[in-house]
Structure 1
């Protein structure tokens, strides 16, 4: 930072932006002011862009303090670790594995948590420690337990928390298991995404308590769900907005390669050809992927790019029984489809998309989730209106 004025203006501008977009409410404003983000951002970072899962080149604070400061007080996520810490060189690693989350997302999720004085909170994913510090300021550090699976991240976060004057219980462990020694909790918040709500989180939450977590199906798309835990051990509630978080390590996707489906043959192998009027380019938005994914269990996709914006969308099932492709080219109104295996994956995807279209193309906020002993149920508008799934 070049001047004291710029140092002060950064937080003020960010606060104004967060208040204007509705993320930062009056009850969280004192925590924002008392717990500055810069205290919880390491010296080496990869700034992100708001609303996008893309990182800029590495920024080292000592080399470019103004750019580092500008990144800290931009409403965007900041990647702080790649490849579980294995990557250490210049440039970028393969897969981002820890971050300081986008401030809009941080305060939107804290707002959804609906904390009350005296609440005990379990946080899954300490990350850099900022979220735990905000909760500690609001509720008292004695009421906050934060769990981090990465030992180095946990150590660094604990040091930042202590330097800022906070001492929540910071545990190194598998967040999927919660932290039963500190249970019960009134609130649970996850700063990593999941595809299945761990039973331990529900069991460690008091009846009437709230769980806030980013949730998404295998196919893609993701949104923050706000679950209320019932006395019978179930949990249910609506999705409250789109999200894009790194996956809980215990639930990371390990998906088969495309070649595993072709049996050593070259495409189109034994695929059956058909045509569709549904463009592959109309099924790839975040809400499309969510709406398709909750209806078509075990579906995932890959894209192979060609020339001039053309591409082939590959569909696979996690059981490695079926595959499909749909070819996109600009200017076309009909698209070639190939399908093979036990399931007609493109037909299932298209039926799921058309169901979503018939419902009025609902956004995330019209969907909800119920978790019970029978598993996970996605619903639309009401728990009584279950979203259909394949096979139908």
Structure 2
């Protein structure tokens, strides 16, 4: 057995032992698909660097293959243009724009989707092609369509898939628009996050089909939801356990902003501990309440800036106890966040699996507990 096959087998065994891989068919895919064909050289973050810098791990060098078969996300592009082959040595800075997602997450999501042989499946975000190869191995080439937004990324993925012996239907284009041929699918899985569920998806997945997607926003809080399509343009779903995050789809990312200038405003005591926004679900609840705001800071010193209106909110410890908040602009961001967090706290601060979503022609509403409970509209 080759070193690659040994490492693949060991990774599959680890994921089986920790409960990630529960289905034999996906275990076979993990043991079969050579991840190294899809990653090549890659970037890894340098621990403790601010801003985060990345070191190049070059293909074929000592430790490279072991890194490929670690259960880690491997960065394959920065700033939408810098690829590992563009760097000779040393470190580089930038924002990750494409990656090979950690295998445990990819395989867990494929299992959560519930796709079976015979289902037609649409994957949004081909990326390196590794997830696509896993899906093609399990479902068959003829049952899988994958769309990639970035032409260079898509071209590299197509070449890697061909070398690996897979031939799913590949499309370069805006996956948020769905299949350009308007085909119907039984399942849709997204390997990028979105601010709301794109309407074309809801008209291309058959009633009774399922959509698995990560919802995010301009504060980059994430939540994974499994939707049941109930009719054209309509769906309901529940958010899933765990902690899933993906890079936001480029058409849904926040617009560029100028340098932040903190300006005076109206000051009052805060009714909640600002540090609640540092928790996984607390930060997500705040994002639901203020979807056009970017969040910065930590702990008692939070900053919210609405990039569409210029509204601001910032918190600080009060020397006499508690916290203060300063707000300015047409949107009182902290007022909205406070109300949302207080509702969540009143419900016992449940994880995201305590929430659901309803999608219809009237909009997309995330709710807490039951459909008639407290809710927030997504920014369509």
- 1:344/1:59 CA distance change after superposition, 3 Å: same
Unaligned 5+ segments in structure 2 are none
Task: Determine the structure 2 residue equivalent to 1:40.
Answer: 38
| C-alpha distance in 1 between matches for 2:105 and 2:170 | 22
- Aligned match for 1:353, one of 327, 336, 341: 341
In the alignment, structure 1 residue 335 sits paired with structure 2 residue 334: no
| C-alpha distance in 1 between matches for 2:291 and 2:130 | 35
CA displacement at 1:115 relative to structure 2: 0.7
CA displacement at 1:350 relative to structure 2: 2.2
| C-alpha distance in 2 between matches for 1:238 and 1:55 | 36
Check conservation: 1:236, 1:368, Cα contact below 8 A: yes
Instruction: Describe how 1:42-191 pairs up with structure 2 within 5 A.
Output: 42=40, 44-47=41-44, 56-62=54-60, 64-65=61-62, 67-86=63-82, 88-89=86-87, 90=89, 91-181=91-181, 183-191=183-191
In the alignment, structure 1 residue 374 sits paired with structure 2 residue 362: yes
Number of matched pairs = 368
Task: Determine the structure 2 residue equivalent to 1:203.
Answer: 203
Deviations 1:323-375 (A, max 9, x none): 1111259x984223212233332232222222111111110111122221112
- 1:377/1:255 CA distance change after superposition, 3 Å: farther
Instruction: Describe how 1:207-222 pairs up with structure 2 within 5 A.
Output: 207-222=207-222
In the alignment, structure 1 residue 365 sits paired with structure 2 residue 353: yes
| C-alpha distance in 1 between matches for 2:339 and 2:200 | 35
- 1:335/1:356 CA distance change after superposition, 3 Å: same
- 1:344/1:258 CA distance change after superposition, 3 Å: farther
SS in 2 for 1:242: coil
In the alignment, structure 1 residue 17 sits paired with structure 2 residue 14: yes
CA displacement at 1:152 relative to structure 2: 1.2
Check conservation: 1:83, 1:93, Cα contact below 8 A: no
- 1:204/1:232 CA distance change after superposition, 3 Å: closer
Unaligned 5+ segments in structure 1 are none
CA displacement at 1:54 relative to structure 2: 6.8
CA displacement at 1:10 relative to structure 2: 2.4
TM-score (structure 2 length as normaliser): 0.88
| C-alpha distance in 2 between matches for 1:311 and 1:258 | 22
| C-alpha distance in 1 between matches for 2:259 and 2:236 | 36
- 1:319/1:7 CA distance change after superposition, 3 Å: closer
Deviations 1:111-170 (A, max 9, x none): 111012211111111111111111111111011111111111111111111111111111
Task: Determine the structure 1 residue equivalent to 2:250.
Answer: 249
Q: Which is further off, 4-13 or 28-37?
A: 4-13
TM-score (structure 1 length as normaliser): 0.86
CA displacement at 1:102 relative to structure 2: 1.1
SS in 2 for 1:346: helix
